[in-house]
Structure 1
Amino acid sequence: MKFMHLSDLHLGKRVNEFSMIEDQQYILNQIAEIADREKPDGVLIAGDVYDKSVPPIEAVQLFDDFLVRLAEQNLPVFIISGNHDSAERVAFGNRLMTRSGIYLSPVYDGLVKPVTLEDGYGKIDVYLLPFLKPAHVRRFFPEEEIDSYTEAMRVAIDYLDLDLSRRNILVTHQFVTGAVRSDSEEISVGGADNVDASVFEAFDYVALGHLHRAQSVTRETIRYCGTPLKYSFSEADHEKSVTLVELGEKGQVSVETLPLVPIRDMHEIKGTYEEVTLKRFYEETDYQESYMHITLTDEEDIPDALGKLRAIYPNIMKLDYDNERTRTNGKLDGTDRAEQKSPIELFAELYEKQNNQPMSQVQQDFLEGIVEDIWEEER
């Protein structure tokens, strides 16, 4: 039996104030086409369906359209809530949706019953375990000692009543120790939200959500599929994909990935203003269509640099400078008495402290002219 593993759609997300709805619609259409071509027996969506607990209307409509397309293919879909979702909102209508083969994780209440499927090798139990904090589990098992995320997950799994003779799939949304994070993910101080992978030993496949880089942790079958889109520039070098997992007889599991191609990619480039605006720099790239982070290395700021660069790179998201001024944080020295210096000397010192270089002769002449004009008016 073959499953498509997705997670962290983050529908409704804005990246550097850019709405990603069009990009998300494009990539969900691509995923639906892959599902139609590959004919999986089910789709696992491991949390963070939405980017916010109260998602915008267009995000809800987009997910509704996606589920309808999957239902039209007679695909069972298994969905849990992540840390970005409202567990109550994701669970809404779950009993009605089940009739259409859409299985939504209910709000955790200590009792998690599997959805059972069957193929030529026997039965497969799919367990839906939404994002959990220790307090969520402690509430229902007060007699258990639960002081960490690992202990919370271990207790939750201990009470699943697993049949180890069957093939078991867990869909969950946690940070497993040893996995690699990205900048766009929420990070707990000190790694307090870590879950040790040993708690998943009983499962044939663990469909994880939460981390944005596709990766397996400790073994191939404990896997993050990653986001379908890049959501920060720390993900610029990621290769986005969907994960296909196929379960044969008990103990036989194969995993493969299929690439996803976005409508707009995400790139980081660096150079002087003159370099990055040369036609030969960008003409044979997809930079003009992509989301861009540009770092200028000019020592002096370019007036209206963002507006000028946007004429070439219309989807520029972020502009930074990397020069002497930004690399060194100058601090004003208050040992010299300000009243003993002229305004021009004071301004020249301020300029040098902020820019880590003195004013040019042209700048000094311009400043002196302004100061003389001001003094003339005061006279």
Structure 2
Amino acid sequence: MRLLHTSDWHLGRSFHGVGMLDAQRAFIDQLVAAVERDGIDVVLIAGDVYDRALPGVDVVHLLDDALVRLTAAGAKVVLTSGNHDSAIRLGFASRLLERGGVHLRTRLEDLDKPLLLPLGTDSDGTDAVLALYGIPWLEPRLVAEQLGTESASHFEVTRAATGLIREDIARRAGSAAVHSVVLAHTFASGGISSDSERDLSIGGVGAVPLDLFDGFSYTALGHLHGRQQLSESVRYSGSPLAYSFSESAHRKGAWVVDIGPEGVTSVSEVLWEAPRTLAVLRGSLEDLLADPGHAWAEAAYCHITLTDAQRPARAMERLRTRFPDTLVLAFDPQGVPATTQSSYSRRLAGAPDDLAVCCGFLEHVRGRDADPAEKTALAAALENVRLLEGSR
């Protein structure tokens, strides 16, 4: 049997103000094509299907279309909820959807209720079965009492959840060779995070130890957006698209897991084509505009940090003449004398008049003096204020 492990679709998310629904549709196209091409039997989605608990109508339609197309391609779908999802809303009509091959695991009551699929007979002549379990995002403060844990921490609730799964596996092991696959949306120790993930540490220690997943044939994790292997049997698929510039070096994809009567036989990668390249550039404005080595970034989404000692005028406007999709502009002035870095209040303590205060503020926030036109405009504005105050 062949499984495809994916997660963190974040349908409905934007990228620095740019809508991503078209890019997400393109990812769904690639996913369906991979299912058809590679003979995928089960698609695993380990949480954060939506980016918001209340997704827009067009976003719900996109998920609906994806599920229809995946099942029409011959795959079953096992889907858990993440910390961005509303477990109740995502789990709506779960019993009905199961008849169509979509198996939702969004409730605590379903932790030890696996999807069971036959794997044939192993070398000892024992019937082998694949048991697919889903651990949704567990908010410790909300589920600790129901799970009977000693404290409301990520470790305790995850240990309780995996304990229930192990008990179910043990009950089934007497009649069949059980190979278990567990989906979980959590932050496991050793994982490398990125800027686009929501912090899970509020209410308890965020990371859970990796040994909580010992003994399972494969653990399909969600939450971290970088595709990574934590052990032979524990992996993050990562998000299918980059959702922050910290992911510019990621190669987005998923894991294909082959499993048979003897257990997991191989894990291989499948890669997704990115709709747009991400560029993180740094340098002076003139160098960035002139350097031919940056030609590749002209069609990319750009995060640019300018290092000019003085903040250039019309910096974003000028950058976009070459890099039209500059989405983030930052400043890190280099070579600024230490005397110019004193506090704003100290520098203006001896300002002779209001115009000097205003000009000093401009210099403080952008690293260069007001030019003559700006000084004239500021003087006119101050005079208008003086006249207005005098007429009252």
TM-score range, shorter chain: 0.7 to 0.9
Structure 2 match to 1:267: 279
Structure 2 match to 1:236: 248
Structure 1 match to 2:4: 4
Contact in 2 for aligned 1:40/1:75 (Cα 8 Å):
yes
Structure 2 match to 1:207: 220
Q: Which amino acid aligns with 1:20?
A: M
Q: For 2:269, which of 238, 252, 257 is the aligned residue?
A: 257
Please identify, of 302-311 and 196-205, the stretch whose mean Cα deviation from structure 2 is larger: 302-311
TM-score (norm 1): 0.86
1:304 Cα deviation (Å)? 3.0
- Indicate yes or no: 2:175 matched with 1:162: no
Contact in 1 for aligned 2:307/2:331 (Cα 8 Å):
yes
Q: Which amino acid aligns with 2:316?
A: L
Q: Which amino acid aligns with 1:312?
A: R
Cα distance per residue 1:137-156 (max 9 Å; x no partner) = 433244x4244211111112
Q: Which amino acid aligns with 1:157?
A: T
Q: Which amino acid aligns with 1:34?
A: A
Structure 1 match to 2:306: 296
- Indicate yes or no: 2:186 matched with 1:181: no
Q: Alignment RMSD, CA only?
A: 3.2
- Change in Cα spacing, 1:198 to 1:365, as seen in structure 2 (3 Å) is closer
Structure 1 match to 2:98: 98
Structure 1 regions of 5+ residues with no counterpart?
none
How many residue pairs end up in the alignment?
369
TM-score (norm 2): 0.84
Contact in 2 for aligned 1:6/1:242 (Cα 8 Å):
yes
Q: Taking every aligned residue pair, what percent have the same amino acid on both sides?
A: 32
Contact in 2 for aligned 1:289/1:313 (Cα 8 Å):
yes
Structure 2 match to 1:152: 157
1:213 Cα deviation (Å)? 0.8
CA distance in 1, matches of 2:84, 2:373: 56
1:366 Cα deviation (Å)? 8.3
Contact in 1 for aligned 2:2/2:42 (Cα 8 Å):
yes
CA distance in 2, matches of 1:162, 1:369: 76
Q: Which amino acid aligns with 1:239?
A: R
Corresponding residue SS for 1:338? coil
Cα distance per residue 1:262-286 (max 9 Å; x no partner) = 1112111122222222373443x1x
Higher helix share: 2
Contact in 2 for aligned 1:221/1:255 (Cα 8 Å):
no
Matches within 5 A, 1:321-360: 321-324=331-334, 330-332=342-344, 334=346, 338=350, 341=352, 353-354=364-365, 359=369
- Change in Cα spacing, 1:167 to 1:261, as seen in structure 2 (3 Å) is same
Structure 2 match to 1:224: 236
Cα distance per residue 1:111-151 (max 9 Å; x no partner) = 53010011234210001111112234433244x42442111
Q: For 2:140, which of 130, 134, 138 is the aligned residue?
A: 134
1:198 Cα deviation (Å)? 1.3
Contact in 1 for aligned 2:355/2:378 (Cα 8 Å):
no
Q: For 1:308, which of 318, 327, 345 is the aligned residue?
A: 318
Q: Which amino acid aligns with 1:197?
A: L
Structure 1 match to 2:45: 45
Corresponding residue SS for 2:9? coil
CA distance in 2, matches of 1:335, 1:304: 25
Matches within 5 A, 1:186-201: 186-189=198-201, 192-201=205-214
- Change in Cα spacing, 1:116 to 1:330, as seen in structure 2 (3 Å) is same
